[in-house]
Amino acid sequence: MATRAELCNAIRMLAVDAVQKANSGHPGAPMGMAEIAEVLWNHQLRHNPANPKWADRDRFVFSNGHGSMLLYALLHLTGYDLPIDELKKFRQLHSKTPGHPEYGYAPGIETTTGPLGQGITNAVGMALSEKLLAHEFNKPGHEIVNHYTYVFLGDGCMMEGISHEACALAGTWGLGKLIAFYDDNGISIDGHVEAWFTDDTGKRFEAYNWHVIRNVDGHNSEAVEKALQEAKTVTDKPTLIICKTVIGKGSPNKEGTHDVHGAALGDAEVKATREHLGWTHAPFEIPKDIYEGWDCRTKGQGLEKLWSNKFAEYKAAFPKEAAEFERRMKSELPANWKEHITKAVAAINEKGETVATRKASQIAINALAPALPEFLGGSADLTGSNLTNWTGCHHIKGTSVGNYISYGVREFGMSAIMNGMALHGGLLPFGGTFLMFSEYARNALRMAALMKIRVIWVFTHDSIGLGEDGPTHQPVEQTSTLRMMPNMDVWRPCDTTETLVGWAASVERLNGPSCHILSRQNLPFQKRSQEQIDAIRKGGYVLADIANPKMVLIATGSEIGLAMEAKKVLDGQGIPTRVVSMPCTNVFDRQEQSYKASVLPKGVARVAIEAGVGDFWRKYVGLEGGVVGIDTFGESAPAPELFKHFGFTVENVVNTAKAVL
C-alpha cells in the first residue's frame, strides 16, 4: 500500500514531468499544495469520477489556475476520464490539458480559472447557489442539496481586488459551506511578496466575517485534516484555512524561490528532484499501488448511489418539487415556455407603451418571472435605476434567502459571482449596472462568453442620453466593444416588444451570455406586423419599407425613432428609404446570407445611426456608406441638448444620407 508521501509525490512528479515536457508551465503550486490536495480529494471531497455532473457533488475551484497540473494530476489519479496521454500533451494544441483549466475541456473542471481572483469569486456564487437551492428544495428528512464548495487560492488571488468584493459578500451572506485553502507560500512571479503584499490576511478575512484558521502546516497532512474538520464545524460563516507551504516543495535547489513559480525545472533539477523525493519511476509512470491509493471511483459511485436513493425517496414524497429540481439542474425550459412567451409578446405588443427601454426590461422581467422560478436577479447598487427587480421578488439581506441581490458597488464581483451561479446550475442569474461600468466587470463578461454559459447582464443609461452626469458616465465605445467579444450576444432594443423578445432569446440561449443595452429616456413604440415581430429574433429586420428603396437607414435602440423621422423626410424628398432595426448584430450575423441580403440589399446606399462609436458600423455600410455616431467623449448637459449637439437630428441624418447617394 502506498504511503501518503508517495501519493503526494505522484502529484509533484506528474507536474514536474508535464511542465518539463512542455517546457512551459507552473510546477511550483502543484508541488507546494500536494499534501493539501491529497487530504481534500482523497478523503473529504464528495465526488464521483464516473459522473462529474452529479447534482449534489462538492464543488472544487482551483482559483490559482496557473498551477493547472495540480488539477489535471488529481483528475487523472482519482479516476476521471483524463488519460495519461492527455497529461503528456500538457499545453499543446487540442489537448484536454491547456495551460489553465478550461471549463468544458476535461471532465471534473468546474470553471475556467487563470485570471486571478475570479475562481474564488465563482466559488462564492456556487456556495450561494447551494444555500438558496437547499432552502427552496430541501424538506424535513429530505436533504437533496447538501454539499460544500472548496477553493484553492494563492497570493495572487488575494491581491486582486475582485476577491475582496466577493469574499466580503460571502461573509455577509454567511456561506458556511464555503471553505478556502490559502496557499501562503510568500512567492509570486517577481519574487518574495513581502515587498508588495504586507496585508494581515487573517485579520482582513475576520473583518469580512469569515472563520480563519491560521498557520496550518500545509505539508502536514494531519494538520490540514484537523483544520478542515474544524472548518466543517463552523456553519454560519465561510472558512479560510491559511496553509504555510514551500513553493516547489521537493525541488532541492529551487524550492522556496520564484524560479520554480512559472518555468520548467530543467533536466538537471528534474533529476535532482527525483533523487530528493526517492521517486525512481520514469516520467509519467505511476505504480499500480499509487493508482490504487488514489482511485476514488468505487467510493464516488457509492456516494452518488446513496444520494440517488435519497432523491428517489424525495421524488416519491414530493414529485412536483423533484421534477422541478431535475428540470432546473438540466437547464431545461418549462414545458409551457413557448406558450407563455408567445402570449407575453402579444400582450406587450398590443399595449404599445412608450417607455424607456430600462423600464421595458423591467416589464419583460415581470412577464417572464412567473414562468421562471430559477430567476435570480440583482444590481450593483443601482436597482432603482437599472429596474432589475420585479413584483414579488425577495431581497437577500445578510444571511436571509431570496431571489434578488443588492450586490453593493461591486460590478466585477457581481458578474463573476453570477458566473459561479450559472456554473453551479439550478439558477438563472442576471444583474445590472450602468453600461459605462461594464468596464469594471469586463473580464467576467469575457469569461462567461469563453465558458459558453447562460448569464444575462442588464446595462442601462446606454449613451449620451444619460445626460448631466457627463462623459465619465456616458458610454461611447462600450456597446461596440461588447459586440466584438466572441460568443456574446448584445441586444440594444428600441421599444417594449424588442426588449421582451431579446429577453426571451437570452433565456433560451444555453450556450452563451447576453447583454441588454437599455436607455434612460423614453423611446417611442413602433408598430409591427406579426411577421416583423417574428423577425426580431433574427437580430435585424425591415421595420419600415417602401417600393424600390434607394437608401437604407440602419439603427438600434434610441436611434430607431430618429431613423423613422428621417425616413419621412427622405421619402418626401423623392429618396425612397427603408429602415432596418438591428437590435442584436451578433444574432443577425449568424443568419443565412440570403436573409441578410433581403434586409440589406446589395447596391443600395446605407447609413447607420447609433449614439456610439461609428467604426463598428463600417462592416455594414462600407467605406462608401455613412455613419451618424459619436467618436468623441460626451459632455455634461440635458440629454436633448446633447443629442442635438452631437448631430443626432433629423437634419443631420438626412444630409448624411444625401451625401452618400
Show which residues are catalytic. Answer: 411
Element (H, E) at 478: helix 478-483
How many C-beta atoms surround the C-beta of residue 371 within 10 A? 17
Q: Measured between alpha carbons, how far is 78 from 80 in angstroms, rounded to an integer?
A: 6
Task: Identify whether the C-beta of residue 593 lies closer than 8 Å to the C-beta of residue 535.
Answer: no
> What distance in Å separates the CA atoms of residue 154 and residue 502, rounded to the nearest whole number?
40
CA-CA-CA-CA dihedral for 62, 450, 411, 332, to nearest 10: -90
**Nearest residue to 649 (alpha-carbon basis) of 581, 569, 552, 545:** 569
| Whole-number Cα distances in Å, 320 to 143, 317, 336 | 16, 9, 15
d(CA 389, CA 1): 58
Residue of 209, 195, 120 lying closest to 162 (CA atoms): 120
19 neighbors 26 (Cβ within 8 angstroms): yes
Q: What are residue 405's DSSP bridge partners?
A: 378, 396
Alpha helices (H) along 544-589: 560-572, 585-589
Rounded Cα distance between 90 and 21, Å, is 8
How many Cβ atoms sit within 10 Å of the Cβ of residue 569? 15
579/526 Cα distance (integer angstroms): 12
List helix spans (H) across 509-626.
530-535, 560-572, 585-589, 593-599, 618-621
d(C-alpha 248, C-alpha 254), whole Å? 7
Helix/strand/coil for 256: coil
Distance between terminal CA atoms of the chain? Answer: 83
- Burial of 163-175, coded b for 16+ CB within 10 Å and e otherwise, reads bbbbbbbbbbbbb
Handedness of CA 78, 81, 87, 88 (dihedral sign): positive
Query: Which residue, 465, 541, 463, 464, is CA-closest to 502?
Result: 541
Give the whole-angstrom CA distance, residue 366 versus residue 361: 9
SS3 40: helix
- CA 123/CA 423 separation, integer angstroms: 10
